[in-house]
Structures are given as structure tokens and as C-alpha cells.
Structure 1
């Protein structure tokens, strides 16, 4: 992956800057933190799901993605990526905040696109 020459467009740099600014030291703490509406300082706690969803939808519109992302979009991506990486259900449900025996988590797995495991990948 090529590094961006502009710090504001580099995801890794942005994440590290946010992690430092929000003082994210606990891996189980929320990465989505509220900002004080006047001082713009990071506040403790996490954002509620509705606020997270609104932010993700606004950013998707701003980025002109061509589809409407919601709060479920990153959860779906997390579940799918974790499953493809070979993690077991217990790890996936913990990462995504589902109850371990949840039937709902199955709906978050994207179907395989048919190319990563396709027998013809190395032939073509």
C-alpha cells in the first residue's frame, strides 16, 4: 500500500493521531468518542449507535460512495473480514459486540465473491 503524501488522507496516520488525542489505551474502550460541542475536546465514553450511524452516513455521502453506508456497514465488514481471516465465531462475536450464541451475526457475513478461492485464479 502506498503512503499518502498528505497526512490528512493517510488512514494509519489519522488513526494514530486520533488514538493519541482521544487517549485510547484500553483496547476494549470505544474508538468512537464524543467531542465537546463548544471546546471540541474529547469526552469520555463512547458515542451511541444512532450518532455513530449518522456520522458514517454523512461521511459516505461526503465521499460520494454511490451507496448509503450505515452503522451496520463497519460491523458487516468487521465480521466478514474476521471470518475470512479464519477467526472462530467466539472471536468474531466478541469483536463485533454480539452475544456469543447470536443468530443475528450470521446475517453480517458477506457472501464470498467467488474469486479469492476460485480454482481459476492462478490460471487466468
Structure 2
């Protein structure tokens, strides 16, 4: 389910935030979509998700394709649905938070990645990737629903910053 993974990354969502989402929680906007994450560990938030530069990894295009292919026309229906294990048809019930993490773990294993991916990996991935592109910690925190000066977020960014913001740059 590539669409869920791309949106999971784009909103830096927690597993339970995505599991609770309904179709109505993804609204079209001029620059992409607005993802309304109403159920949250910290506080609800609306996350702007712009169109991606590559159609193959664009979360907005992927959401539109999933919505159409799955026939998601009930605004109160779950946005992320289970597939029937034998017939691979879209079912009415939504995914459980644990299932979201399991899907990511299995996808990482199938890809042969040595690091064990979990449901938390898209959050950490967004923080790290965003920092590598030069985005400020406050902007990253807002996108991912972290507190502005979160120690957890700072720990993720430290991995990137140890080379970019190193006291020895220009000294040696």
C-alpha cells in the first residue's frame, strides 16, 4: 500500500493517527491536500501536503489514485482499509495501528534493507530528510506534530547535524 506509506512519511504520522483517519480528513487544496489528523498523542493538527516533484512518489497523486481505485466515496469511511487476504478486495474496516507498523516492517524486509523498519520509521525519516534539505527544526516539528523543542526530534536531527553543524568545519 504505497499510498499510505507516502502519506505516512509526508505527515510524519503516528500509527494511530493514520488508523483513525477517515476519507473526509484528506481535503483537496490548491497546492496539494490538507491532512486533518484529529486523533493524536500530542494534539490534533492539520498538515499541508504539497505535490511531490516525482509523480511516482507523490503522496497527493497516490492519495487520489487510491481513493478512486478503492471506491472511497463515503466521507465517513476509513481512509486506510484492509484488503481481503484471499481475494485482495478492499474491505470496509480500517487498519489497526499495529497493522500499519507491520506493513512497514514487512516492506523493509522484502526490500532487503538490513535496518528493521517500524511504524515509527516514516516519522524519523521525514525529520532526517527534511533537515538534510536545510529545513529548520521548528518547521519540521510543526509538520510532524512534535513539540517545538522536542528532545526526541532533537535526537533525530543530531544524527544529521553532527556533520553539517560541526564545530570543526572551517577550523581544520
> Do both proteins adopt the same fold according to a TM-score greater than 0.5, normalized to the shorter chain?
yes
- Shift of residue 88, structure 1, vs aligned partner: 1.9
Closer/same/farther in 2, CA of residues 99 and 40 from structure 1, 3 Å limit: farther
- Aligned mates of 2:93, 2:113 — CA distance in 1: 31
Alignment partner of 1:64 out of 105, 112, 120: 112
- Shift of residue 93, structure 1, vs aligned partner: 1.0
Show the counterpart of 2:66: 22
Q: Deviations over 1:4-24 (max 9, x none)?
A: xxxxxxx73365663223349
Superposition map of 1:23-102 within 5 A = 23=67, 33-35=80-82, 37=84, 40-41=89-90, 47=95, 49-102=97-150
Q: Deviations over 1:32-74 (max 9, x none)?
A: 82235477338697x5542221111000111111221112222
Higher strand share: 2
Task: List alignment gaps of at least 5 residues for structure 2.
Answer: 1-53, 69-78
Q: Is the 8 A contact 1:60 1:69 kept in 2?
A: yes
Task: List alignment gaps of at least 5 residues for structure 1.
Answer: 1-10, 25-31, 120-124
- Shift of residue 102, structure 1, vs aligned partner: 2.3
Alignment partner of 2:155 out of 107, 111, 116: 107
1:35 counterpart SS class: strand
- Shift of residue 79, structure 1, vs aligned partner: 0.5
Q: In terms of mean alpha carbon deviation, does 80-89 or 60-69 score higher?
A: 80-89
- Aligned mates of 2:128, 2:91 — CA distance in 1: 30
- Aligned mates of 1:70, 1:107 — CA distance in 2: 17
Length-normalised TM-score, structure 2: 0.44
Length-normalised TM-score, structure 1: 0.56
2:143 counterpart SS class: helix
User: How large is the RMSD of aligned CA atoms in angstroms?
Assistant: 3.8
